[in-house]
Structure 1
């Protein structure tokens, strides 16, 4: 998957979301800001992002997510 496709998928699933996606080969780094992360632990945030990308991961369209930086707007 291309960076813009991943970005669009994430932003369509999280409210008022801003996502930055960096793709290097088959590895992906994500930086995401959304109020949906407010009050969630780091693990729960990563689980939420992984759930959004689950189909792409299981199909092999995404090989690996190396980094997920998921924050609420109050944390930036």
Structure 2
């Protein structure tokens, strides 16, 4: 049982409402590009932990198996 790209994005946005989220996935492997001011001053590990916290229920349920995260602040993208 897999989860849609839109559902993954919605989970992340519910946890980080101001974030810009782009998800690319094939039902098994997903890539998340997340841009948020919430990442300012955080290490890569802490940024990833924020995103994983948002999708933990889907991981636990077996809907989300592999997630590659690119977490940046708006300034890092500019």
After TM superposition, the score normalised by the length of structure 1 is 0.92
- 1:62 aligned partner: 64
Q: Which runs of 4+ in 1 moved over 6 A?
A: none
Residue 42 of structure 1 is matched in structure 2 by 44
Alignment coverage as a number of residue pairs: 75
Deviation at 1:15, TM superposition (A): 3.6
1:33 corresponds to: 35
Q: Secondary structure at the match of 2:60?
A: helix
CA RMSD of aligned residues (A): 1.0
Structure 1 unaligned spans of 5+: none
Which residue is 2:16 aligned to? 14
TM-score, normalised to structure 2, is 0.90
TM-aligned CA deviation for residue 2 of structure 1: 0.1
| Structure 2: gaps of 5 or more residues | none
